[in-house]
Amino acid sequence: MEVDQLETMDQRAEDEPQLLWEPPGSPPSPALGETEAEAEADTEAAVEAEEVDKAPEKPRELAAPPRRPPPSDPEAVRIQAWWRGILVRRSLLFAALGALTIQRWWKRARLRALEARRRATLEAFTRKEWAAVRLQAWVRMWRTRLRYCRLLHAARIIQAYWRCRACGARGFIKGHYRVSANQLHLELEIVLGSEPCIVSECIPLPVKQ
């Protein structure tokens, strides 16, 4: 017993911090106490970290869902399930019909918009083509009229020269007249070929009384 008591006392003496002797009148040194406290805190943190690292990882246990008690009336449960199925199918049918209606309306609206767009494009193209055709027709008409006027002017010039030449080859008429108080003296010389013809005539003038 005495030996055990001595060993325990030695262990307590080792565990207790050793106090350093300081002369009386000297101020206490706070640096030693702070360093010892920091060292103890670091050792405790290191020991806790080692214990946490060495601890075996426990697998997580999934909580089992609570078991429902068996129904007391299975027929009622079947009827309820059947009725719920009917309600679900009916709601799905209504949703499908609504979706089909919306899809049909949307397709019809898209077709109408596409048709209107095509019609507008066709009208614009037709208007442009018709304007281009009319401009081309006017230009062709103007060019044809200009060509016709040139040809007509040339034909008139040729006809005038030809008529003058024909008249010169056939003959010409030359004459003069003289007016007196009550008579008109007219002398004409007509040359046809090589034989001239001279015509002289006196025409009485009416006199007002």
Q: Greater confidence, 93 or 46?
A: 93
Query: What mean pLDDT comes out for the span 90-116?
Result: 95
Query: What mean pLDDT comes out for the span 155-177?
Result: 76
Q: Greater confidence, 151 or 198?
A: 151
**Structure-token match 């946490």, residue found:** 52
Domain regions of the chain by residue span: 76-140
**What are 130's two structure tokens?**
């018709």
Q: pTM (2 decimals)?
A: 0.34
Question: What distances in angstroms separate CA 120 from CA 2, 45, 113, 116, 129, one per listed residue?
Answer: 119, 84, 10, 6, 14
* Sequence-separated (6 or more) residues with CB below 8 Å from residue 34: none
Report whether pLDDT(92) > 70: yes
Given pLDDT bands bounded at 50, 70 and 90, which one contains residue 170? Answer: low
